[in-house]
Amino acid sequence: MGEAPQIDGLLNDAAWDQVPWGGGDFRQNSPDAGAPATVQTLFKILYDSKNLYIIFKNLDPDPSKIVSRMSRRDGFEGDWVEINIDSYYDKRTAFSFTSSVSGVKGDEYVSNNGDNWDASWDPIWYMKTSINAEGWIAEMRIPLSQLRFAEKPELTWGIQITRRFFRNGERSNWQYIPPNSPGWVHLFGELKGIQGIKPQKQVEIQPYVVAQTETFEKEEGNPFQTGQSSGVEFGLDAKIGITSDITLDLTVNPDFGQVEADPSQVNLTAFELFFREQRPFFIEGSNTLNFPVNDYSSNNLFYSRRIGRRPQGYVDTDESGEDDVNEYVKTNNQSTILGAVKLTGKNKKGFSWGILETVTGVERAKIDSVGIRRTQVVEPMTNYFVARAQQDINKGNTLIGGMFTATNRNIEDPRLKFLHDKAYSGGIDMTHNWKERTYYVSAKTLVSHVTGDPEAITASQQSSERYFQRPDNKHSDVDPTRKSLTGTGGTVIVGKRSGNFVFDVGYNWLSPELELNDIGFLSQTDQMRQWTWLGYRILKPVSIFRAQRYNLNQSQNWDFDLKSTSQTYSINGYAEFKNFWSLEMGTSHQRYNVSNADLRGGPSIRYSGNFYYWFWLASDSRKKFSVQVNPEWQWSENNFINSAFIGITFNYTPINALRLSVQPNIYKETNQLQYVGTSTIQGEDRYVLGEIEQAVARVSLRFTYMVTPNLSIQYWGQPFGASGKYSNFKYATNPGATEYSQRFAHIPSDGMSLNGNEYSVDENTDGTTDYSFGKPDFNFGQFRSNMVIRWEYIPGSTFFLVWTQEMNGEFFDQGGPLHRQYNFDFNQKAHNIFLLKFTYRFVL
């Protein structure tokens, strides 16, 4: 190639004269699929033994109108151009590199033939842009070490180039792919005749240092709540190309202090809440270690947030038996991850795999009693192992894979016998496509096996995922002597994924004994589900529309007693108009719903049918100011539940470097059958229900200011409030009855008295208290915020300055006009964390 071009965003290097321009015949992917692009794009590609060079000439008849908005990496704001490279040439995966006209990089690892785009992949590459009289230029240098390809005398790669012409809302492709195609990567064009290059063994080592200071409320006499703490930690991340097909990711003592906090939630259900993963080590390449149990929930064989979870043990502060001795406890909020190794690979025969090995250390709580200290183990040393493999067959038309997970705990303290000592799960999946990938069949099956002390297995049988103890459960009983559980699950789907008309029909089951929550996520078992989805889409401009989509859905659920637990029907549609506004709306009707969990181990409870309606309206997102509005309503037969939600998003971009977002939302619900608690009367369980008036309000605030494409200031804050007021208490009598009025009996008002925070109940008003329960009303306010200054001072090396704050208090639902109805009072002292993190990436 001679002398390599300098990456300066200018078309002034002699090296580019060696090859002619390609492109010039781009076609629209949207809105007018197949039509010539409004503005054309030209490109050239060069390479040497170490790098791939690409230059784009993005023609524009009016350069003054080019939209040069900035964002953090992978923000994809304004005008941009992108190249996707299928260097494996497996027609399923690709590496994506995006240049915005403002100089912001975007990079993603594409998998599953374009269904998954992993923006957490951050390779080291170089890019510059400039605007001129013809449009704008983007110039790239991509080290071959950032790509993966086979060692052959001559290579063929799949490539695709996409241009976003922002002010027209247009995307165009070099290799035209219709928007209703059954995939993406397998339809790329080809770059042939690549010779004289060899796979590069990538070695990147990134040590870090973190200095942290915390301030919080001081508690007199508590040696662990002094009001302030500080510390310095060191760690290391590494990415090593062992061979051209195998990459090792390694982390030692990882730090996640710059990660945004989870949104606040109040959970009134029997089930665990799912929170998305936000830690960089576990996000990157997460699609490699992914095995969803089904397509309509978060259930998965692997849920990375189990690793480093909050210690599960608790501390008994009265071991001495001396109730008058004050004891104070300090426990870490997360288990310490000693180290984690992730190996991924793919060979030229289409075999891909990934392995994750992680060890978390023993966690000990510190207990102080008048200066005398002791420790107690609250989490044992645990080893987590995950392996995933997939094989392409028949030119990528068939994909067969499997996954295996293992959790092994070293339980020595008898107080931790409630945990499984071993937990294993595995699954096999297959997808076969035919008729040019228009039609497909997908199937998967999985199995789990957990062992432990009878205490642990009994707890699993009685947990909210199962409730074997339900009196109307005919297929499962609690066995307090069991030392293991083995369960299964699976899914079968047949569908059509291309063309205007698409559909899928499926069936899924989760056996009662299935257990995934040691390293996976599973909300509820004992389910079988059948569904049908029909879709029709028009992805070209017609009349006032730019694009339209319409869907019909039907589903039915059963438990393993073959009892029908729900029937649901829904319809929804989406339209984008030629003025770039969008409207989406839908409605559903659930004929009935039977819950095996809401009475927390009691009998099933039947709920009347309900109707749900929603719509989403968005203004033109190209404008500097845009709005989205999302109201939702639910109402039911017998008026047992009524709810309303309104969410609004305001986005404002006053200048190209600044983006502001405000998202207020309010939820109101009245539910006559909210579970309160279980009491005992004359040796029988009494399941108490109440009518709850619940209000939840939050406002998410976010701004991003880009000082340069590599230096950003970002803030996120969220005041959150939730309140619940209970009245009209009742108890379940025949909760599965067809007639609504026969499912419960009211507790007479003159049979209830409130003493402080406890209700005493005299059901037959004979003057004797039959049982009591705590006052269930709640009121909670919380403010969480996170400010991050991030500077990538050289590619791959970063400096973070972080301020995180949390304040707790109260939330008031005062009634009256909406703008005066709600009020927050964060009356507790703020917990502040100030963090400075410095990383440096060595490329060897």
Bridge partners of 95, per DSSP, are 85, 109
Matching residue, tokens 């080809």? 190
Domain limits for position 183: 14-200
Q: How confident is the model at residue 202 (pLDDT cuts 50, 70, 90)?
A: confident
Question: Looking at the predicted structure, is the pLDDT value of residue 100 above 70?
Answer: yes
Residue range 221-232: average pLDDT?
A: 91
pLDDT tens, residue by residue, 109-160:
998 899 989 898 889 999 999 999 999 999 999 999 899 888 889 999 999 9
Bridge partners of 129, per DSSP, are 138
For residue 319, what pLDDT is reported? 55
Question: Looking at the predicted structure, is the pLDDT value of residue 820 above 80?
Answer: no
User: In degrees to the nearest 10, what's the CA dihedral of 125, 131, 137, 143?
Assistant: -10
Closest CA to 450 of 437, 440, 460, 442: 460
For residue 318, what pLDDT is reported? 63
- CATH code assigned at 23: 2.60.40.1190
For residue 723, what pLDDT is reported? 93
For residue 536, what pLDDT is reported? 97
Q: For residues 484 and 449, is the Cβ–Cβ distance under 8 A?
A: yes
Residue range 56-70: average pLDDT?
A: 96
Asked, for residue 119, whether it belongs to a domain, the answer is: yes
For residue 369, what pLDDT is reported? 86
CA distance 204 to 638: 63
For residue 317, what pLDDT is reported? 75
Q: How far is CA 375 from CA 102, 328, 331, 369, 507, in A?
A: 55, 11, 10, 11, 50
Helix (H, G, I), strand (E, B) or coil at 416: helix
Q: What percent of the chain has pLDDT over 70?
A: 98
Question: Looking at the predicted structure, is the pLDDT value of residue 321 above 70?
Answer: no
Closest CA to 333 of 257, 406, 408: 257
Q: For residues 15 and 44, is the Cβ–Cβ distance under 8 A?
A: no
C-beta neighbour count of 460 within 10 angstroms: 22
For residue 711, what pLDDT is reported? 96
Asked, for residue 196, whether it belongs to a domain, the answer is: yes
Amino acid at position 214, single letter: E
Question: Looking at the predicted structure, is the pLDDT value of residue 391 above 90?
Answer: yes
Q: For residues 468 and 485, is the Cβ–Cβ distance under 8 A?
A: no
Q: What is the 3-state secondary structure (H, E, C) of 18-64?
A: HCCCEECCCEEEECCCCCECCCCEEEEEEECCCEEEEEEEEECCCHH
For residue 110, what pLDDT is reported? 94
Question: Looking at the predicted structure, is the pLDDT value of residue 707 above 90?
Answer: yes
Q: How confident is the model at residue 296 (pLDDT cuts 50, 70, 90)?
A: confident
Helix (H, G, I), strand (E, B) or coil at 830: coil
For residue 529, what pLDDT is reported? 97
Q: How confident is the model at residue 816 (pLDDT cuts 50, 70, 90)?
A: low
Asked, for residue 424, whether it belongs to a domain, the answer is: no
Q: How confident is the model at residue 255 (pLDDT cuts 50, 70, 90)?
A: confident
Q: How far is CA 351 from CA 152, 188, 390, 548, in A?
A: 17, 20, 6, 38
Residue range 336-340: average pLDDT?
A: 92
For residue 696, what pLDDT is reported? 94
Question: Looking at the predicted structure, is the pLDDT value of residue 320 above 60?
Answer: no
**What is the token pair recorded at 251?**
């982390």
Q: How confident is the model at residue 797 (pLDDT cuts 50, 70, 90)?
A: very high
For residue 301, what pLDDT is reported? 97
Helix (H, G, I), strand (E, B) or coil at 348: coil
CA distance 35 to 648: 35
Asked, for residue 179, whether it belongs to a domain, the answer is: yes
Question: Looking at the predicted structure, is the pLDDT value of residue 324 above 50?
Answer: no
Domain count for the chain: 1
Residue 682: phi and psi, rounded to 5, are 50, 45
pLDDT tens, residue by residue, 436-485:
999 999 999 999 999 999 999 999 999 999 999 999 999 999 999 999 99
CA distance 688 to 770: 13
Q: For residues 179 and 29, is the Cβ–Cβ distance under 8 A?
A: yes
Q: How confident is the model at residue 288 (pLDDT cuts 50, 70, 90)?
A: confident
Residue range 584-600: average pLDDT?
A: 96
Higher pLDDT, 281 or 416: 416
Instruction: Please list, in sequence order, all residues whose beta carbon lies within 8 angstroms of the beta carbon of residue 319, skipping any fewer than 6 positions away.
Output: none
Helix (H) or strand (E) holding 154: strand 154-165
Out of 267-281, 423-437, 551-565, 767-781, which region has the weakest mean confidence (pLDDT)? 267-281
Q: Beta strands of 380-469 (E only): which ranges?
A: 381-393, 398-410, 422-434, 439-451
Helix (H) or strand (E) holding 282: helix 280-283
For residue 268, what pLDDT is reported? 87
For residue 230, what pLDDT is reported? 93
Residue range 416-440: average pLDDT?
A: 96
Q: CA angle, corner 353, sides to 422 and 85, nearest 5?
A: 145
Q: How confident is the model at residue 817 (pLDDT cuts 50, 70, 90)?
A: low
Closest CA to 523 of 265, 274, 267: 274
Residue range 778-800: average pLDDT?
A: 93
**What is the token pair recorded at 677?**
């608690």
CA distance 484 to 420: 9
Residue range 307-336: average pLDDT?
A: 80
CA distance 415 to 377: 8
Q: What is the 3-state secondary structure (H, E, C) of 432-443?
A: EEECCCCEEEEE
pLDDT tens, residue by residue, 266-276:
888 899 989 88
pLDDT tens, residue by residue, 514-542:
999 999 999 999 999 999 999 999 999 99
CA distance 821 to 586: 29
Asked, for residue 754, whether it belongs to a domain, the answer is: no
Question: Looking at the predicted structure, is the pLDDT value of residue 658 above 70?
Answer: yes
Closest CA to 209 of 231, 229, 179: 231
Amino acid at position 418, single letter: F
